[in-house]
Chains A and B, each alone.
Chain A
Amino acid sequence: MTSNGTVVEVRGLKKHYPVRQGVFSRVAGSVRAVDGVSFSIARGRTFGLVGESGCGKTTCARAALRLVEPTEGDIFINGTNILSLSGKHLRRARRGFQIIFQDPYASLNPRMTVGAIIGEGLKVHRMASRRERRRRVTELLERVGLSAGAAGRYPHEFSGGQRQRIGIARALALSPAFLVCDEPVSALDVSISAQIINLLKDLQEETQMSYLFISHDLNLVEYICDEVAVMYLGRIVEQAHAEVIYERAMHPYTRALLAANPLPDPEKRREKILLGGAVPNPASPPQGCHFHPRCDAADEACRLQYPKLVEIGGGHLVACHMVDQKSKTSQ
């Protein structure tokens, strides 16, 4: 698997949460937060996951790192199936895959100094002596653009952007091959966000890490990602190279998302697509295509059967009956 440069391969990942009811906590159904997601990321590449709130992006990312236990699926990171690991072996393997979080205020322990936070991973894995650790922390702080003096301070003394840099330094300390960025800039303002994004890009160039980049900001995803997948109610509905998604999106949901995306140029106008209704309750998604109640083009087939994710050429995957028919008729 590593031979062709694939660092991460996720197959059929599912995370279902049981819904319990009544006095005896009978399992009455399940919320399919992530329902059969597959993707792979090559070395030094960035895979983007977009979708609206509650579509399962974060759960997907956390399940891929086994921070929540997946219900089903296989996750290969650096060639090892991390779902087959347990206890000490899993903890040791965690060196290879790290995460940076959305909320820089909640993700740093308020009782620990910045130095202790960044050195935590090295300490846990006994990778460095106390002296070495201090030196590594200084190095990492400078690498993410903070002064070495920050090590003795507490997180509450830093701004959101600085805290996010601390979070990045913590993840970098273990030199992971795979880094999940869970909406790393959505809590930051625009100028700070750009700095963080550029830092992440530079780091990737240096270390050839693979990123799983989660966001709901489509402009950002276009800028940073090589490949993009759009999620709706726990499933990937469209996946393609970043440029392809932006130029030739096929799935009606993707097109609606793109249409809602603000353009930086006020002169530019484009077609508006307004989606009717709201996201259905994930505990009881509509029959057939999950998107059909909000889709203009939906017909009988959409109401009956969930469309398969099929390739329509050039690694462009779409799950839509309409697109499927069109591509068939055109052939």
Chain B
Amino acid sequence: MSEAPVEKSPSYWRLVAREFMRRKLSVAALIGVSGFILVALFAPWLANDAPIVLVRDGRVYFPSTFTYPELRSIDWAYYMDNLPEGQWALMPPVPISPYRDDIFNTLRPPSREHPMGTDDVGRDVLSRMIWGSRISLSVGFVAVGIAVVLGVIFGSIAGYFGGMVDIIISRIIEIVICFPMFFLLLTIIALVARVNIYYLMFAIGIVGWTGVARLVRGEFLKLREQEFAVAARALGAPATRVMFRHILPNAIAPVLVSATFGVAGAILTESGLSFLGFGVPPPTASWGSILSLARQYVYQAWWLTAFPGAAIFLSILCYNLIGEGLRDAVDPRLKV
């Protein structure tokens, strides 16, 4: 028998993508989020007082990318102001490190030199915003990633096996959601001696898995009795295969939608924690920590409030718009 050329039809996700692309606002939001992500990824080359490229004594260095033993003792801010003759350097667009303070230029309004002004110790706000986006966005992704993984595992086990397993997992979920999320987070943070950003991601993830778990459990309860799942069992497929190959792909769409909203929620939670002073430890910048500082200078320095506030607002708006577009695109009434 000759092997006929097998033509492949567009898969479900291809169709979802097509449907999503028809929603202009959501596409705009996706572009916006991509912009934020690019800024976060390229922060070292966007805001740094070390040059991107430095030609020195006939050698080419990339000081903002790698560290060099022979350049370790250099104070870049001073070095660049007095660049020796015959050397050449390409500076990042924002040539100021987020940590460089300047006591002669505290709380300066936006200017050519500092497009978003400076804070109470003279650090450049734009530079801190750029580096802060790394914290804010990665908290969103990692925390939601942890929440989704935990939620999918517990939810699918509870929904697929039912009975005693389901009762135990459901009760655990109910116990966790009894506590206000912030209270639980503050407790976890209080238990850890030295808070760093990873604890924060982990804590937000651990607290947030219940919603996903309940969603997945419900989908599994509904889908496990569907004939295609019964058929897979009749073929002799092991439970894990039925769960993860047959049921999960049919249950994942609502999870993805809720995860998108979850990213927005996690960013807000991190900002809230930083605002209260329980977030990333100084001098690390995050949008929330800049905002927290602004609290003391609301009447003197509007720029400390406006820029991080706008960044938080915009990124959350974008994630919510993406979530909404995705929710419409994966609508079960979609012809699939």
Contact of B12 with A111 in the complex, beta carbons under 8 Å: yes
Contact of A138 with B3 in the complex, beta carbons under 8 Å: yes
What CA separation (Å) do A102 and B9 show in the bound complex? 26
Decide: A149 near B6, CB < 8 A? Known: A111-B250, A124-B237: yes
Q: Would you call the interface of chain B mostly helix, strand, loop, or mixed?
A: loop
Which of A101, A111, A149, A167: most chain B CB closer than 10 A?
A111
Decide: A67 near B6, CB < 8 A? Known: A106-B226, A110-B336: no
Contact of B232 with A148 in the complex, beta carbons under 8 Å: no
Q: Distance in Å from the Cβ of B335 to the closest Cβ of chain A?
A: 7
Complex interface bits, B268-310 against A, C-beta within 8 A gives 1, otherwise 0: 0000000000000000000000000000000000000000000
Q: Distance in Å from the Cβ of B231 to the closest Cβ of chain A?
A: 5
Decide: A106 near B228, CB < 8 A? Known: A134-B3, A138-B4, A149-B7: yes
Decide: A94 near B235, CB < 8 A? Known: A106-B226, A139-B1, A154-B12: yes
What CA separation (Å) do A33 and B12 show in the bound complex? 38
Of chain A, the residue at the smallest CB distance from B253 is A111
Q: Distance in Å from the Cβ of A310 to the closest Cβ of chain B?
A: 35
Q: Is B249 an interface residue (CB 8 A)?
A: yes
Q: Distance in Å from the Cβ of B66 to the closest Cβ of chain A?
A: 44
Which A residues, 167 to 211, have Cβ-Cβ distances below 8 Å to chain B?
Answer: 167, 170, 174
Contact of B335 with A67 in the complex, beta carbons under 8 Å: no
What CA separation (Å) do A230 and B234 show in the bound complex? 25
Which B residues, 18 to 51, have Cβ-Cβ distances below 8 Å to chain A?
Answer: none
Decide: A174 near B235, CB < 8 A? Known: A106-B228, A135-B3, A148-B6: yes
Contact of B6 with A152 in the complex, beta carbons under 8 Å: yes
Complex interface bits, A130-146 against B, C-beta within 8 A gives 1, otherwise 0: 00001100110010000
Contact of B236 with A92 in the complex, beta carbons under 8 Å: yes
Q: What residues of A have a CB within 8 angstroms of the CB of B7 in the complex?
A: 149, 152-153
Interface band, chain A: 35 or more
Contact of A103 with B227 in the complex, beta carbons under 8 Å: yes
Contact of A147 among B4, B8, B335 (CB under 8 A): B4
| A-B CB pair tally, cutoff 8 Å | 98
Tally chain B residues at the interface, Cβ within 8 Å: 28
Q: Is B241 an interface residue (CB 8 A)?
A: yes
Q: What residues of B have a CB within 8 angstroms of the CB of A101 in the complex?
A: 227, 230-231
Decide: A99 near B231, CB < 8 A? Known: A135-B3, A138-B4: yes
Q: Would you call the interface of chain A mostly helix, strand, loop, or mixed?
A: helix
Q: What residues of B have a CB within 8 angstroms of the CB of A108 in the complex?
A: 228, 231
Q: What residues of A have a CB within 8 angstroms of the CB of B8 in the complex?
A: 113, 152-153
Q: Is B69 an interface residue (CB 8 A)?
A: no
Contact of B4 with A148 in the complex, beta carbons under 8 Å: yes
Q: What residues of B have a CB within 8 angstroms of the CB of A138 in the complex?
A: 1, 3-4
Decide: A115 near B234, CB < 8 A? Known: A110-B336, A154-B12: no
Q: Is B246 an interface residue (CB 8 A)?
A: yes
Contact of B231 with A154 in the complex, beta carbons under 8 Å: no
Contact of B1 with A135 in the complex, beta carbons under 8 Å: yes
Contact of A149 with B4 in the complex, beta carbons under 8 Å: yes
What CA separation (Å) do A101 and B11 show in the bound complex? 24
Q: Is B5 an interface residue (CB 8 A)?
A: yes
Q: What residues of A have a CB within 8 angstroms of the CB of B237 in the complex?
A: 91, 120, 124
Q: Is B238 an interface residue (CB 8 A)?
A: yes
Q: Distance in Å from the Cβ of B70 to the closest Cβ of chain A?
A: 55
Q: Is B100 an interface residue (CB 8 A)?
A: no
Contact of B234 among A99, A135, A152, A156 (CB under 8 A): A99
Interface residues of A (CB under 8 A from B): 62, 65, 67, 90-95, 98-99, 101-103, 106-113, 115, 120-121, 124-125, 134-135, 138-139, 142, 147-149, 151-154, 156-157, 167, 170, 174
* Selected A-B contacts with CB under 8 Å, 17 pairs: A67-B233, A90-B236, A95-B236, A99-B234, A101-B227, A106-B226, A108-B228, A111-B11, A113-B8, A124-B236, A125-B236, A142-B1, A148-B6, A149-B4, A149-B6, A152-B6, A153-B7
Given contacts A67-B230, A94-B235, A101-B231, 12 further A-B contacts (CB under 8 A): A65-B234, A93-B236, A101-B230, A107-B228, A107-B231, A110-B228, A110-B250, A124-B235, A125-B236, A147-B4, A148-B3, A152-B6
